Amino acid sequence: MLNLTPYILLAPLVGFVVLGLFGRILPRVVISVIGCGVVLVAFALALADFFSMLGVGAAHRVSDVVPWLWLTSGNLSINFGLLSDPLSAVMLLIVTGVGFLIHVYSIGYMEDDPSYWRFFCFLNFFVFAMCLLVAADNFLMLLVGWAGVGLASFLLIGFWYTRPSAVAAARKAFVVNVIGDFGLMIALFLMYGAYGTFAYSGVLHGRLIDTPTLTAITLMLFVAAAAKSAQLPLHVWLPDAMEGPTPVSALIHAATMVTAGVYLVARAAPLFSAASTSMTVVAIVSGASALFAATIACVQTDIKRVLAYSTMSQLGYMFMGESVGGFSAGIYHLLTHAFFKALLFMCAGAVIHALGGEQDMRKMGGLRQKLGRTYVCFWAAALALAAIFPFSGFWSKDAILGAILAHAAASGGAGWYVLYIVGLLTAILTGFYIFRLVYLTFHGEYRGEPIVVAHGAHGGHGGHGAGRAAVSADPLAIVHEPGQTMLTPMYILAALSLIGGGFGASVLFNLSDLSTFLAPSTGSAPEPPTALFWLSLALSLICALSGVVFATLRYGSGQTYFVAEGQENALVRLLQRRYYVDDIYDAVIVRPIVAFGSWLRASLEEELDGGSRDIGDLVSGMGESLRGFQTGFTRNYAAYIFVGVILFVLFFLSTRP
């Protein structure tokens, strides 16, 4: 089978380098072609790899290519190696495929931006780093890719670096990510100590080691995953990361980067399967995150923040699936989530773009007529997210819930049933908040100000409508649909959201489906017995539908229930302040560290600066005192010479025999 992974990495890297060096002087068209073209090339190559993989039998679908040996030190030798196996093939397809669609979308979305080239340059770098992450054949190269995507996230969140809020958000994201990096590094150290190697072949299929070490390794890996995938308590960066441009949110914070944590846990599936304590921890954290985020999403007023919390909640779902051994189910949900979440962000971006930068839902409404096509795409994505039959989200979420139920039934622990209930509750809330979003944005009356400058991504930047200052009767007079470059990717993703369930459910690849395809890498997911299977199917559908119905009742005919400032009840306030997590962090962690830093700086300045200042003072003091010898009187100088002569004579007398 083919392993073209080096070239899949090479293409976006070339794009990054070329755009980085020459982007400033290239014309827009060339930048767009290069930026999107390299990702298209990567996608084509990934597709070729995938199809060649289908051609060989299940047991032989592993190919390891080592372009070069990175370093050797003593017994340790690390390769820059690239692995092509089912899991990495699926991930590469997602990254390059959805990445390509978002690149095309960005052509339209960022058209007014003066730093157009920089955006594509960073996006290409991100694609390169993410491909490296998923294609590495040892944990150390994974760490390299991990850090690379963290960097790309920082650069892209803070893309509009003149905004202080964007800079602060980028910094916050980076700091929280570094905590995850730290966890990953500790896991690597432990891994090296236990296995003596970093390669997947050595670690994942290696000898058995004792459970405490294994638990430690897997817990540290999960810390890294939690930081990258925004699970409690390291989730605080994700809502703020919405400061970046919407394509960034779509690609990085919905479809690919945040799923790196899910990928990591899936890749380390053999390790996790053997450490049941870690699995329990994963289950608890992910279940709590899913429910936590879903509740907060119900009261958010910013479109993108609703979607951010939704992402966190769905990531929780993926981890929940993985915590019961359903690693392939988690990856399946990753796949479908990439489709509909990216689509949701794209549609939100279209709305924002059309309204000239407005993101607050309280100022939206009644956009159904003006943005009809966006509205349709939004419905497709919302149905998929809410997991309504027969859309893609339904199949993947059901795979997860079914796996949980199967595990609960098989192991009999009450905790797993609680996890299942949590999953159902979150499903209800998911249906509720996403349709709340749809109704508030598109139905009812328009609640905002007249749009005079449309077509801007960041608040009135340039635009065609600037000339028409006259306010017509219709405040939305100049609002229009996004251009073709933005709509086409949306259509493609909408189609995938509708039929993407086929990857897991139907008999596409030689009578096998995604979980069977992934089994060599991740093991098989627990399958519930038939009765429980149908029960779980029915329950998840009922919960999802009930959420949707409730939202329709409350918001469907256009009434809004925005509570005025200061009049919320305690529950709503709790949710709006996001359970005060940010405030707790600020008080407990941020303030003491900042105070410590100030104290340290003051005392160090005093000690070190003062010390060097004291040395300077000492020298100049010596100079001052020696100055007394220069009296200017010739006789004094003669006297000094006289003293010297006497000393010389005395010395001469004392030494000669």
Partner 1 sequence: MLFQQIAFYVLAAVAIGSALGVIFFRNAVYCMLSLILNLLSLAFFFLTLEALFVATIQVLIYAGAVMVLFLFVVTMLAPSSNDDVTGRDRLRWQWGAGIGMGVILAVALCYAAFTGRLAADVKASGAASLAKQVASAGNTQAFGLALFHGYSFPFEVTGVLLVIAVLGAVALGRRSGAKE
Partner 2 sequence: MPLSAYLAVSAILFAIGATGVVIRRNPLVMFMSIELMLNAVNLSFIAFAHFLNSVEGWMFVFLVLTVAAAEVVVGLAIIVSIFRTRHNVDVDELNSLKG
- Residue ranges that bind partner 2, judged by CB under 8 A: 627, 629-635, 638-639, 642, 645
Alpha helices in 5-85 (DSSP H): 5-22, 28-55
Work out how close the CB of 627 gets to partner 1 at its nearest, in angstroms, rounded to a whole number: 17
Q: H-helix or E-strand containing 133? A: helix 116-135
The Cα–Cα gap between 177 and 227 comes to 6
- Picked from partner 1, partner 2, none, the partner binding residue 630 (CB below 5 to 8 A depending on kind) is partner 2
Stretch of 516-524, 526-534, 615-623, 642-650 lying at the interface with partner 1 (CB under 8 A): 642-650
Q: Are 385 and 341 in contact (CB under 8 A)?
A: yes
Shortest distance, CB of residue 628 to partner 1, whole angstroms? 13
Residue 563 binds what, of partner 2, partner 1, none (CB under 5 to 8 Å, by partner type)? none
From the list partner 2, partner 1, none, partner contacted by residue 211 (C-beta under 5 to 8 A by kind): none
Residue 205 binds which of partner 1, partner 2, none (CB < 5-8 A, kind-dependent) = none
* Burial of 641 per CB tally in 10 Å (0-12, 13-18, 19+): exposed
Residue 634 binds which one of partner 1, partner 2, none, with CB within 5 to 8 A depending on kind?
A: partner 2
Question: With contact defined as beta carbons under 8 Å apart, do 177 and 237 qualify?
Answer: yes
Q: DSSP per residue over 269-328, as a string?
A: HHHHHT-HHHHHHHHHHHHHHHHHHHHHHTT--BHHHHHHHHHHHHHHHHHHHHHTT-HH
End-to-end CA distance of the chain: 98
**Concatenated DSSP letters for 391-405?**
SHHHHHHHHHHHHHH
Q: How far is the CB of 628 from partner 2 (least distance, A)?
A: 9
* 38 contacts 11 by C-beta, under 8 angstroms: yes
Minimum CB separation of residue 641 from partner 1 in Å reads 11
Contacts for 325 with CB less than 8 Å, ≥ 6 apart:
273, 279, 403, 407, 523, 525, 526
Task: For the CB of residue 608, give the shortest distance to partner 1 in the complex, in Å.
Answer: 45
Nearer to partner 2, 600 or 645 (CB): 645
d(CA 622, CA 7): 68
Closest CB to partner 2 among 600 and 641? Answer: 641
CB of 644 to partner 1, least distance (A): 11
**636 near partner 1 (CB under 8 A):** yes
Contacts of 387 by beta carbon, 8 Å cutoff, 6+ apart: 393, 394, 396, 397, 398, 427, 430, 431, 540, 541, 544
**Under the criterion CB under 8 A, does residue 646 sit at the interface with partner 1?**
yes
Taking the least distance from each CB to partner 1, the nearer of 602 and 643 is 643
Rounded Cα gap, residues 282 and 226, in angstroms: 9
Query: Which is closer to partner 1, CB of 595 or CB of 639?
Result: 639
Q: Which residues contact 124 (CB under 8 A, 6 or more apart)?
A: 12, 13, 15, 16, 19, 35, 38, 39
Give how far the C-alpha of residue 273 lies from the chain's centroid of Cα atoms, to the nearest Å. Answer: 25
Smallest gap from residue 647 Cβ to partner 2 (A): 13
Residue 632 site contact among partner 2, partner 1, none (CB < 5 to 8 Å, cut-off depends on kind) = partner 2
Cβ neighbours of 594 (radius 10 Å)? 11
Scan for tokens 């962690």, then name that residue: 589
From the list partner 1, partner 2, none, pick the one residue 656 interacts with, judged by a Cβ distance below 5 to 8 Å according to partner type.
partner 1
Shortest distance (Å) from residue 641 CB to partner 2: 9
Could you tell me which residues come within 8 angstroms of residue 145 by beta carbon, excluding any fewer than 6 positions away? 129, 130, 131, 132, 133, 134, 136
At closest approach, how far in Å is the CB of 617 from partner 1? Answer: 31
DSSP state, residue 385: H
Site map 505..524 versus partner 1, x via CB under 8 A: --------------------
Smallest gap from Cβ 21 to partner 2, in A, equals 59
**C-alpha 154, offset from chain centre:** 10
- Our CB check for partner 2 shows the closer of 55 and 644 to be 644
Q: DSSP 3-state assignment of 496? A: helix
Stretch that binds partner 1, among 136-144, 401-409, 510-518, 638-646 (CB under 8 A): 638-646
Piece of 47-55, 164-172, 299-307, 636-644 that binds partner 1 (CB under 8 A): 636-644
Stretch 606-635 residues interacting with partner 1 (CB under 8 A): 633, 635
653 binds, among partner 1, partner 2, none (CB under 5 to 8 A by kind): partner 1
Question: Rounded to the nearest whole angstrom, what is the least distance from the CB of residue 626 to partner 2 in the complex?
Answer: 9
561 binds, among partner 2, partner 1, none (CB under 5 to 8 A by kind): none
Alpha-carbon distances, residue 420 vs 301, 313, 402 (angstroms): 29, 15, 9
* CA 43/CA 9 separation, integer angstroms: 10
Q: Is 205 in the site for partner 1 (CB under 8 A)?
A: no
Least Cβ distance, residue 649 to partner 1 (angstroms): 5
Which one of 77-85, 204-212, 543-551, 639-647 is the stretch in contact with partner 1 (CB under 8 A)? 639-647
Q: Which does 627 bind (CB under 5 to 8 A by kind): partner 1, partner 2, none?
A: partner 2
Q: Which is nearer to partner 1, 471 or 646 (CB)?
A: 646
* Residue recorded with tokens 């979305």: 109
Residues near partner 1, by CB under 8 A: 633, 635-636, 639, 642-643, 645-646, 649-650, 652-653, 656
